[in-house]
Structures are given as C-alpha cells and as structure tokens.
Amino acid sequence: MLRRDVLKAIPASLFLTGFPNLGTARNLKDGRLVVINLEGGMDGICAVPPLGDRSLRSARRDLLINENLKVNPFFGLHPAFKNFGTMLSADEATIVHATAFPYTKRSHFEGQNIVETGILTPFSSKTGWLGRAMELAGVGGRSLSLDTPLLVRGNMDVEAYYPADLRGSKFPDNGVLDALKSIYEGDALETTEVLQQQLNLSLDAPRLRDPEGLAIFAGKKMQSQHGPKVAVIRVPEFDTHANQGTEDGLHSEQLKVVDNVFGALKAGLGPMWASTVVITITEFGRTIAQNGSAGTDHGYGSACLIAGGLIDQAGIVSDWPGLKPNALHDGRDLQATIDMRSVCAACLEISFGLEHDEIKEKVFFDTKIKRVYNEIFS
C-alpha cells in the first residue's frame, strides 16, 4: 500500500469515556452519548440542502447535487448519507438545521475551542462541556486515541484509544508500568494507571484505526452495562476551500465517512442503540456562495445530524432563516437561528437524565440557553 493511502486511511480518532463510577454515580438515566466532531467546518448546505429555497441554485452553480435523498418537500439529504437516510426513514434520526455555536469570527481554532469547551470566550477554559456534564452526572471514569480531546476533559480520568502500530515494539508490561507509577505523580500517574487497566482489559482489542473500525469497536464497548457511556469520534478535513465536489469529491468522501460511522456505531451498539443518541458538532458552516475555486469559505450556520434509538420521530428541526442576501449573516453566511448549545443540552438531558436548568448553569454557564428538548426528542 502506498504511504499516501495509509495516511488517507486514518482520518479519525476515537475517545471512549464515561465508564460508570459506582462510588459517585447518581441515579440517572443509563443512556449512551456519542459525539462526532467534524473538524474544519462542515458545509450544512451541502449535507442537508434546502432544495426549496430558490436562492440556493444561483449561489452554488458548480456545487449543486442532482440526486439528493428526499427528506421533505423543502430539504434534501446528500446521497452519501445512505445509513443516516435509512435511520431517518425508521424514525431513528433527526436533523437540526441553521444551527451553530454562537461564534461568528470564522477562525477554525477559536471556533473549535468554543465547540469543545462550550464557553464563548475562546481559550478560556481547560475543561470541555461534555467532561463537565459527565462530572455532573457522576459518570466519572475513564475512556479508551492518541490525545485526549478538550471536549471530554474535566475532573476525571480519561483514557484514549488509537492503537499503536510501531513496528517491532512491545506492549508496555506491568513491570514498566509499575516502575513509572512509582516515579510519576498527578496527571502522568493517573494516565499510567488508566493505561495499565486498559492494557489488561483490551489486549484483544482490534488493531483498527479507520473510522468505521473505531466506531464498531466503540459501539461494542458501549454495549456493556459497565462499559463506557460516552464516545467522541473526531473526523477532520471538512475545510473545503477548493474543489469541494458534488455527488463525488472531497466533501462527499468526508460525508461518507460520517455516514459509515453512524452505521458502524449502530451495528456495534446492538441492543444498546435503543438507549443511544449520536450527535455531530462542527465549528461553523460555510459560505452560501461558492468561491472562485469551486469550494466554500468559512461561514456561520450549519446542520447537525442526530441519530439513535432515543429519538421518537424523524424530522427536521429548523427556524429556517432563508438564503436571500438580506437574510444571510453578514450578507454571506447561513444565519444560525438555533443555538447548538441548546441542542447539546437536549442530548445531555436525554442520555444522562440531567435537568436543563442544571446543564445551562453548570455545564455551559449561561442561563439564557433555551430548551429545545421537546422539539428534538418528542
């Protein structure tokens, strides 16, 4: 295999976290939550095109897709979403459109930080909204990737899972790990302890690093009552400034990855799918108009895909702002009419059983966040 193919084959990372901590767990729902972080700014207009909006065609002559899957008379769905489309048909998925974290400066790095921390001032928090929610729900514990995403950092151990493939190397043995434990303290000590537990439990884990393989692995681990309750899967390279493509091409390939992750999670979770919610997040959407290189630039509002057995009825939740120039944010981007923090809060509510007021005050530190639970889950 060519090296470039190897690189292409590893565009994702997995983080499993939130093993039940029986000492401190509160008597809350036993749901499962998976967050798929689409890094680079996913084009929600391409993923879930508002076909009924007359302004779409003139803005995107070279990016229009002819064979969309039909969701309702107004919205379509990119043909890459075969698994997700089936979930929609089965009332196991829903879409929130024209949504974003309230951040409008269009920087990837500030935006990604906000998406992970849930705090609107970039780089002001060392913990993530998901990590704080897990702490609140008492699902402290550990996880199974190369680094630990800010999203799940909080006051708990976090275990990463992204199996090594270092030719000729050996698993760290207990002798080495015991020696390191005797010389480490703080985070390094906790990390070593978690690594030791992980190695003792996961020696039979598949040595897979492609997104689908990681998703199946995550799902299987999450099936167990004492398994992890939360997983984070990172899918990068949504920054489609050039040659974005239509049915095929760069963006389509990335959407297929996401769709396969949805499918693999469902397969891996098995019966636990009924108690699961899977949500996509991204730092921003893309410009409504295509740029000069058949791509799109950094924008604002995007779409959020949600799936899982905890959804009762499929649909599209949107207060559609329209694509006419005077309806656009700064005259160029899809306006966000639903705060993504509200969407995340609804997912925390249904999977962890936390109260909305508690989430807005102790997870997002903003009492103005509206509750959209009923719109998504009822």
Tokens matching residue 55: 């302004």
312 lies in the site for another protein, by CB under 8 A: no
286 lies in the site for another protein, by CB under 8 A: no
CA 52 to chain centre: 28
Binding segment (CB under 8 A) for another protein, from list 18-26, 272-280, 292-300, 342-350: 292-300
Residue choice 18, 19, 35, 39 for contact with another protein (CB under 8 A)? 39
- Residue closer to another protein by CB (options 159, 349) is 159
Q: Which residues pair with 77 in a beta bridge?
A: 69
Shortest reach from residue 146's CB to another protein, in Å? 5
Write the CA distances from 242 to 184, 198, 249, integer angstroms: 47, 41, 11
Tokens matching residue 206: 């598949």
Shortest reach from residue 176's CB to another protein, in Å? 5
- Residue closer to another protein by CB (options 52, 331) is 331
Tokens matching residue 304: 């959020």
92 lies in the site for another protein, by CB under 8 A: no
| d(C-alpha 316, C-alpha 318), whole Å | 6
188 lies in the site for another protein, by CB under 8 A: yes
- Residue closer to another protein by CB (options 6, 274) is 6
Q: Are 98 and 335 in contact (CB under 8 A)?
A: yes
17 lies in the site for another protein, by CB under 8 A: no
226 lies in the site for another protein, by CB under 8 A: no
Which of helix, strand or coil describes residue 14? strand
| d(C-alpha 22, C-alpha 4), whole Å | 45
Task: Report DSSP state, residue 301.
Answer: -
| d(C-alpha 342, C-alpha 127), whole Å | 19
Q: Are 242 and 295 in contact (CB under 8 A)?
A: yes
| d(C-alpha 144, C-alpha 162), whole Å | 8
Residue choice 83, 192, 276, 342 for contact with another protein (CB under 8 A)? 192
Residue choice 17, 68, 94, 198 for contact with another protein (CB under 8 A)? 198
The binding site for another protein (CB under 8 A) comprises 2-4, 7, 11, 39-40, 61-62, 105-110, 122, 126, 145-148, 153, 158-162, 164-172, 175-177, 179-180, 182-184, 187-188, 191-192, 194-195, 198, 236-237, 239, 241-243, 290-295, 297-298, 330, 332
